[in-house]
C-alpha cells in the first residue's frame, strides 16, 4: 500500500479525478484481477522452452493450440524453437492435446 500511496501522491488533480472515476466504475478491480490471473497462470520460473529447455519469460514467443476446451500454451525462447515445434509436433502429428 505504501507504493500505491506514493504513486497517488505524485499524481496531479486531473489524474486523480480520472483514477477516482476508474475506481467508481470498477475498472481498477478489473485491472487487478486481470494482472493477478496473468501472474497466477504464467509462472515463468517453472517454464522452459519445450524444444531446447532454455529459459522463457513474459517476452518469449507463445503459441496457443488445441481445441477450445483443451487449449494449450507453449512458450519458446527463439523463433527457431517455435518453428521446429510447430513443424514436428503440430503439423505432422495433428495433435489436439499435449506435446
Give the nearest distance from C-beta 86 to Zn ion in angstroms. 13
Under rule CB under 5 A, residue 52 binds Zn ion: yes
Q: Which range of residues in 25-33, 39-47, 50-58, 90-98 is near Zn ion by CB under 5 A?
A: 50-58
Burial string for 63-89 (b: 16+ CB within 10 Å, else e) reads: eebeeeeeeeebbbbeeebbeebeeeb
Number of residues that bind Zn ion (CB under 5 A): 6
Contacting positions for Zn ion (CB under 5 A)? 49, 51-52, 54, 77, 81
Amino acid at each position: 500500500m505504501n507504493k500505491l500511496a506514493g504513486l497517488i501522491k505524485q499524481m496531479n488533480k486531473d489524474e486523480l479525478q480520472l483514477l477516482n472515476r476508474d475506481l467508481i466504475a470498477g475498472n481498477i478491480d478489473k485491472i487487478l484481477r486481470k494482472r493477478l490471473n496473468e501472474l497466477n497462470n504464467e509462472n515463468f520460473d517453472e517454464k522452459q522452452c519445450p524444444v531446447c529447455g532454455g529459459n522463457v519469460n513474459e517476452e518469449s514467443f507463445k503459441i496457443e493450440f488445441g481445441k477450445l476446451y483443451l487449449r494449450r500454451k507453449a512458450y519458446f525462447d527463439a523463433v527457431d524453437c517455435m518453428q521446429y515445434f510447430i513443424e514436428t509436433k503440430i503439423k505432422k502429428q495433428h495433435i489436439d492435446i499435449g506435446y
